[in-house]
């Protein structure tokens, strides 16, 4: 019996159901707005705006998006975003999508959501960057009003778009700091687009005391994580899946408590790991790294945070207590001010204490 199998067997008596995990307080720190739409909303907007999607029925469109997500390549995975972005070019549609994401995340047991997007990708019909920002902010405020969720925005620079654009997006982040925006990110294709090319944008972010995260170690190796930490001063790493290939860097990340934003299903879909069974989350957790569990893209990877925790529980054999630890590490890793974070962690600990998860 393998180590994973024996762990799974020993946890059998304490198996959590989907509903039990859903009821636990959780956060989602890595969630792309343009990857987390509702399929019926995509169709509704497409019909309203006269946009041609590859399928105009729910089942057909879901199939197209799922097929796109499972091509084992980050570059191919990212092509599905051409479809979602085609229906995210008008303010009211963007606001509606942001509100619905809050509702979906709240139903998933998410108490705190950091949602990321790149405003530059919503300008096909001439919206200004500020109009895109206001639309998302309005949508999130409405979502917060309808539910009990708290949200924060992370603005994304894109690796494959000119570094000067990342600087403009960093300036936007500086302007909206404390007004709904909590951080900055670098997303997009890792191969051929090194993070350090965008150092100027991150210098501006750093000089304005804004937290940042960088997608790294997903499609490219640990060198990409090294650049994210040392050239861009990333406070968190988006994915970091291939960190295990460099032991020295692994220890640096651990010693400095740099959180990894793990997204299990997405890593399989883009081909970073061969299967869920071999995902390094279990090893990272056992080694002591600060790991968090997130969706990446609720629609494109057809998942929820609950589902991702269920995978960690059932496939990687993490126990109830271990899931509780990851929940806490998630809330500790938010880009909220320390006092807010501390208060939130306190409320989460209370809620977990009331549940049957032992600490």
Question: Closer CB to Zn ion, residue 237 or residue 345?
Answer: 237
Least Å from the CB of residue 115 to Zn ion: 11
DSSP one-letter code for 259: P
H-helix or E-strand containing 96? helix 91-107
User: Nearest to residue 10, comparing CAs of 349, 238, 243, 319?
Assistant: 319
DSSP one-letter code for 260: E
Least Å from the CB of residue 4 to Zn ion: 26
Question: Closer CB to Zn ion, residue 296 or residue 308?
Answer: 296
Q: Residue 356 burial by CB count (10 A; 0-12/13-18/19+): exposed, middle or buried? A: exposed
Which pair of tokens denotes residue 79? 């092509």
Q: How far apart are CA 75 and CA 182, in angstroms?
A: 27
Judged by CB under 5 A, the chain residues 284 through 313 that form the site for Zn ion are 296
Q: For the chain, what is the largest distance between any 2 Cα atoms, rounded to a whole number of angstroms? A: 59
Least Å from the CB of residue 302 to Zn ion: 15
| Position of minimal CB gap to Zn ion | 296
How many amino acids of this chain bind Zn ion (CB under 5 A)? Answer: 1
Instruction: Examine the residue annotation and report whether 218 is marked as an active-site residue of this protein.
Output: yes
- Catalytic choice (100, 190, 218, 261): 218
Question: Closer CB to Zn ion, residue 267 or residue 319?
Answer: 267
Least Å from the CB of residue 185 to Zn ion: 8
Which pair of tokens denotes residue 27? 């956060």
Residues whose CB falls within 8 Å of the CB of residue 162, separated by 6 or more in sequence, listed in order? none
Contact 254, 288 (CB under 8 A): yes
Question: Closer CB to Zn ion, residue 74 or residue 94?
Answer: 74
Question: Closer CB to Zn ion, residue 90 or residue 190?
Answer: 190
Least Å from the CB of residue 125 to Zn ion: 25
In degrees rounded to 5, what are phi and psi of residue 148? Answer: -110, 15
Residues whose CB falls within 8 Å of the CB of residue 303, separated by 6 or more in sequence, listed in order? 265, 266, 295, 296, 297
Least Å from the CB of residue 194 to Zn ion: 17
In degrees rounded to 5, what are phi and psi of residue 217? Answer: 70, 30
> Sign (positive/negative) of CA torsion 186, 190, 192, 196?
positive
Question: Closer CB to Zn ion, residue 122 or residue 320?
Answer: 122
H-helix or E-strand containing 144? helix 129-146
Q: What does the angle CA 65 – CA 66 – CA 69 come to, to the nearest 5 degrees?
A: 90
Give the binding site for Zn ion (CB under 5 A).
296
Please identify every residue annotated as catalytic. Answer: 218
């Amino acid at each position: 019996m393998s180590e994973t199998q024996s762990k799974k067997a020993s946890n059998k008596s304490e198996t959590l159901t989907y509903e039990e995990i859903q009821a636990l307080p959780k956060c989602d720190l890595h969630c792309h707005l343009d990857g987390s739409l509702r399929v019926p909303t995509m169709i509704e907007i497409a019909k309203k705006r006269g946009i041609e999607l590859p399928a105009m029925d729910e089942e057909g469109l879901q199939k197209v998006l799922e097929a796109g997500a499972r091509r084992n390549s980050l570059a191919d995975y990212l092509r599905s975003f051409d479809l979602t972005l085609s229906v995210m070019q008008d303010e009211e549609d963007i606001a509606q999508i942001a509100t619905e994401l809050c509702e979906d995340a709240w139903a998933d047991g998410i108490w705190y959501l950091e949602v990321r997007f790149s405003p530059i990708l919503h300008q096909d019909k001439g919206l200004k960057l500020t109009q895109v920002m206001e639309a998302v902010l309005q949508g999130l405020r409405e979502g917060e009003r309808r539910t009990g969720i708290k949200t924060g925005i992370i603005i994304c620079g894109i690796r494959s778009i000119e570094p000067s654009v990342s600087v403009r997006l960093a300036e936007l982040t500086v302007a909206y700091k404390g007004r709904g925006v909590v951080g900055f990110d670098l997303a997009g294709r890792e191969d051929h687009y090194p993070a350090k090319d965008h150092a100027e944008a991150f210098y501006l972010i750093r000089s304005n005391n804004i937290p940042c995260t960088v997608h790294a170690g997903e499609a490219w190796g640990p060198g990409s994580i090294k650049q994210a930490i040392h050239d861009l001063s990333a406070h968190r790493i988006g994915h970091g899946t291939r960190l295990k290939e460099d032991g020295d860097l692994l220890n640096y990340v651990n010693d400095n408590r740099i959180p990894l934003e793990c997204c299990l299903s997405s890593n399989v879909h883009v081909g970073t790991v061969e299967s869920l069974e071999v995902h390094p989350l279990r090893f990272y957790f056992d080694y002591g790294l600060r790991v968090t569990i997130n969706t990446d893209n609720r629609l494109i990877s057809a998942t929820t945070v609950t589902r991702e925790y269920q995978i960690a529980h059932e496939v990687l054999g993490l126990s109830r207590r271990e899931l509780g630890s990851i929940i806490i590490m998630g809330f500790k890793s938010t880009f909220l001010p320390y006092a807010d974070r501390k208060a939130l962690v306190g409320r989460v600990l209370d809620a977990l204490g009331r549940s049957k998860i032992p600490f």
